[in-house]
Amino acid sequence: MDAVYIHIPFCKKICSYCDFCKIYLNDKFTLPYLNALLNEIKDRYQGEKIKTLYIGGGTPSCLSLKDLNYLFDIIKLFDLSELKEFTFECNINDINEEILKVLQSNGVNRLSIGIESFNENNLKFMNRFHTFDDVLDKINLCRSYNFNNINLDLIYGLPNESISILKKDLKLLLKLNPEHISTYSLIIEDNTMIGINQMVPVDEETDSEMYRIICQILKKNNYIHYEVSNFAKEGYASLHNINYWLNENYYGFGLSSHGYIGNVRYENTRSLTNYINGNYVLSEKLLSSSDDMDNTIMLGFRLLQGINLKYFYDKYSVNLQEKYDIKELVDKKYLLYKDGYLKINPKYIYMMNEILIKII
Ligand SMILES: C[S@@+](CC[C@H](N)C(=O)[O-])C[C@H]1O[C@@H](n2cnc3c(N)ncnc32)[C@H](O)[C@@H]1O
Ligand code: SF4
């Protein structure tokens, strides 16, 4: 067990597109929530050395300094003697000297910040508000506190977004020189403001064109495209997320978190009341070896390097090619062999879902 995810579900504002498990920040709930988190960790954690820790949300950065300090006390329950990566998700508007000091003194070494866009119309649509200059000041402040591993999130494919708006967003994002960039095509979920208002994203053709442009521009600027939606400068791919895509075990603590321990996948409740009352788990499923192989395929092909065939054999004592009928996909060059890996041809990465359906 190497990885721990902790979910902090509070947000100061709710974005129009967001279907993550989140609630408005309310001081009445933060302490009971953190107490429940402490109990869940005490119940479940078996003392393993943790290599990567990821505190996400919601918006962990919206907690008060007092609550944040309590959260970091809770984290001391883990054996962090071999910790390599400690990510903390921040909303850009929450970043200030006080919070950066607390994060720095508690060993956070990677920040993940939702920027999403710099375009005024896009931002208004998302119910988010900042200017490029605001963001630049905040990133400079992070740099002055020695945060030298920063991820920025970008959303593209919003209704009425043009290719030129996207290109401008990318240009500004690159000016900030982040070590890591995550780009997501807008998903319109039913129970969000934009879902309720039946908004329609850009058409599929524009969406794939936007994806192609993102890949091209980021590659030209020395970012390695290592996962479908993720790009990093050399040496800055997210260790925590790679552990997940390799289908390795991880703990998930907190409201709505998922975990995978032994051969059991579990999902926590999304009900704050249940969680605070100590009824953490919503469902648990014991996976068969065949289910686990399917997950290794579905997650592993998200990585551009593909799946290590020896690793697959060592884990399951069966060759991937024997378990799955991939001959036609290989013959048609949708799948490629390279250096002991089997990967989706980068040319067809935008068709990943169709390819996975064919394999599984
Ligand atoms: C938990 S949020 C990030 C941290 C913080 N809460 C914030 O918003 O600044 C994770 C990221 O998922 C992406 N995301 C969330 N909902 C999305 C949607 N419906 N479509 C596309 N991307 C989405 C956004 O890029 C967002 O920054
Ligand atoms: S995108 Fe982030 S800040 Fe916005 S509602 Fe979702 S979790 Fe909260």
Distance CA 312, CA 203 (A): 37
Q: Name which of 105, 113, 5, 8 is nearest 64 in CA terms.
A: 8
Task: Give the pLDDT of residue 312.
Answer: 97
Q: What are phi and psi of 173, to 5 degrees?
A: -60, -45
Distance CA 87, CA 111 (A): 5
Distance CA 221, CA 177 (A): 10
Q: Is residue 264 part of a domain?
A: no
Task: Give the pLDDT of residue 1.
Answer: 58
Task: Give the pLDDT of residue 256.
Answer: 98
Task: Give the pLDDT of residue 121.
Answer: 96
pLDDT digits 0-9 by tens, 46-78: 999 999 999 999 999 999 999 999 999 999 999
11 within ligand 2 shell (Cβ under 6 A): yes
Q: Is residue 22 part of a domain?
A: yes
- For residue 58, which atom of ligand 2 is closest to its CA? 7
Task: Give the pLDDT of residue 278.
Answer: 97
The protein residue whose alpha carbon is closest to atom 6 in ligand 2 is: 18
Q: Is residue 169 part of a domain?
A: yes
58 within ligand 2 shell (Cβ under 6 A): yes
How many domains does the chain contain in total?
1
The protein residue whose alpha carbon is closest to atom 4 in ligand 2 is: 15
Average pLDDT, integer, range 223-238: 98
pLDDT digits 0-9 by tens, 133-159: 999 999 999 999 999 999 999 999 999
Ligand 1 contacts (CB < 6 A) are: 17-20, 56-57, 59, 89, 91, 114, 116, 153, 155, 184, 186-187, 189
Q: Is residue 149 part of a domain?
A: yes
Query: Longest Cα pair distance anywhere in the chain, in angstroms?
Result: 60
Task: Give the pLDDT of residue 14.
Answer: 95
The protein residue whose alpha carbon is closest to atom 2 in ligand 2 is: 58
- For residue 91, which atom of ligand 2 is closest to its CA? 3
Task: Please identify which residue in the block is written with the tokens 């950065």.
Answer: 61
pLDDT digits 0-9 by tens, 185-225: 999 999 999 999 898 889 999 999 999 999 999 999 999 99
DSSP output for 169-231: HHHHHHHT--SEEEEEE----TTSHHHHTT-----HHHHHHHHHHHHHHHHHTT-EEEETTEE
Q: Is residue 336 part of a domain?
A: no
- For residue 14, which atom of ligand 2 is closest to its CA? 5
Distance CA 44, CA 134 (A): 41
Average pLDDT, integer, range 93-111: 98
- Domain containing 136: what range? 3-243
pLDDT digits 0-9 by tens, 243-287: 999 999 999 999 999 999 999 999 999 999 999 999 999 999 999
Q: Is residue 352 part of a domain?
A: no
Instruction: Assign residue 49 the CATH number of its domain.
Output: 3.20.20.70
Q: Is residue 82 part of a domain?
A: yes
Tell me, in angstroms, the distance from the centre of ligand 2 to residue 59's CA. Answer: 6
Instruction: Report the percentage of the chain scoring pLDDT > 90.
Output: 97
Q: Is residue 312 part of a domain?
A: no
